[in-house]
Structure 1
């Protein structure tokens, strides 16, 4: 048997991470959804890291501990950010790039502008930067005990499709699932990211010593009313699937400046 033939029989290595913490219900649901698709390795933060974006730890050392949380699955708790988890997984645990990286299932939405702030998506994006096909999953349910049934079904469906295809370099998806049962969902739609944002404000309060402190709050506002966005898809009973890239270059503006700024 040739090396090539042997490699075809090997199970793909699936790295699972998130930003809600290694013991969260979302990551357990994702591990269950991926059962049988490959060799699963979990590396996730030891505490919630929501809103961390693409932060990395450079000011203090990182800690990494093996934990027994998932039967038959190697799992590690990391003191760093979601991005740290991916970096450490590749360098110190797997000693190679996994075949695919899956982040989530996030407890809350990461549609539209949220992708910029999301630790869930930043972990997936870090993998994509390293040419590891990646996807982030998020459930639009902020309740104390969310039902991940539909999320698990769609996560498995999408990852199966990814494993069956030859994917382009830096492949990255942002997938959001509405709060609904599988029977209530209409399927999934390939979408663009909506132009939407939070109209934010800070609530000022006083501590017992009379010093001011602030809570960030705000209202989500959608400025994009077209029917090909993630916000529209989610509002109309579809799972939204948005292809994402980390190249932030505005190519149309680049072309304009090349002409106007000669």
Structure 2
């Protein structure tokens, strides 16, 4: 089995290093990751400048490819160039330092890397820890290895994207696994305005990260119960419930 491993926290992130060691036990793993932190970069791609790639050794443990691009760039170059002569069985993106729950998926470079893989017909996992400090990477890595191993015993649809979130607790404390839908939380964003001595105005985007709505069958509910959340994602963003209504509106627009 061959796995392409990437992330959005950068190739020197502890999460990708610990995950690599676990996935090595079940597959041949190629690491292609951004050369620096690229969190909340979403599905950005680099189209207007050349990308530089270096082969680097991480903590003396393993070699990987460091790219001065985005997580989606890493997947594209991995599929089309670095691993073009190989059959990639699975793309794994993570382990992300922080949750990708609910609406986070629209901002996440971690999830977008997995989506890019599925768009190119490679089944993909995005894996994240739902915490903000003292990350339990080993626990998440052990479960990711289990999930990947069990998945590969099946014939997987090429457009598979699974968004996996782990509670930030030790392996023995995890209560189980739930297959969930992604939930909802409303961000209380704010813009801070700063004027420097030269009179230039600077804008800082920020705000507090809100709690998610603990609704039945959601990723937030699973995490609140110390369970692993696995959410199958769709590449089709069509709102089918609105098609008829929008058709009715369009009839009155007289274009």
Q: TM-score, normalised by structure 2?
A: 0.91
Match of 1:61 in 2: 50
Two-structure CA RMSD over aligned residues (Å)? 1.9
User: Which structure 1 residue ranges, 5 or more long, are not aligned?
Assistant: 1-11
Asked if structure 2 preserves the Cα contact closer than 8 Å seen for 1:112 and 1:197, the reply is no
1:114 and 2:104 matched: yes
Match of 1:162 in 2: 151
Match of 1:217 in 2: 206
User: CA offset at residue 222 of structure 1?
Assistant: 5.4
Matched residues in 1 for 2:160 and 2:60: separation? 30
SS in 2 for 1:197: coil
SS in 1 for 2:11: coil
User: CA offset at residue 166 of structure 1?
Assistant: 1.1
Match of 1:132 in 2: 122
User: CA offset at residue 179 of structure 1?
Assistant: 1.3
Matched residues in 2 for 1:197 and 1:259: separation? 30
Matched residues in 2 for 1:235 and 1:95: separation? 41
Match of 1:78 in 2: 67
Greater Cα shift, 52-61 or 64-73 = 64-73
1:103 and 2:79 matched: no
Q: TM-score, normalised by structure 1?
A: 0.89
Q: Deviations over 1:10-50 (max 9, x none)?
A: xx110000011111101101101202211110100111111
Asked if structure 2 preserves the Cα contact closer than 8 Å seen for 1:40 and 1:73, the reply is no
SS in 2 for 1:164: coil
Match of 1:192 in 2: 181
Q: 2:77 aligns with which of 81, 84, 88?
A: 88
Q: 2:12 aligns with which of 23, 40, 45?
A: 23
Greater Cα shift, 236-245 or 93-102 = 93-102
Match of 1:5 in 2: none
Aligned residue pairs total: 250
Asked if structure 2 preserves the Cα contact closer than 8 Å seen for 1:41 and 1:73, the reply is no
User: CA offset at residue 73 of structure 1?
Assistant: 5.1
User: CA offset at residue 154 of structure 1?
Assistant: 1.3
Matched residues in 1 for 2:208 and 2:224: separation? 16
Asked if structure 2 preserves the Cα contact closer than 8 Å seen for 1:196 and 1:220, the reply is no
Matched residues in 2 for 1:37 and 1:72: separation? 17
User: CA offset at residue 157 of structure 1?
Assistant: 1.5
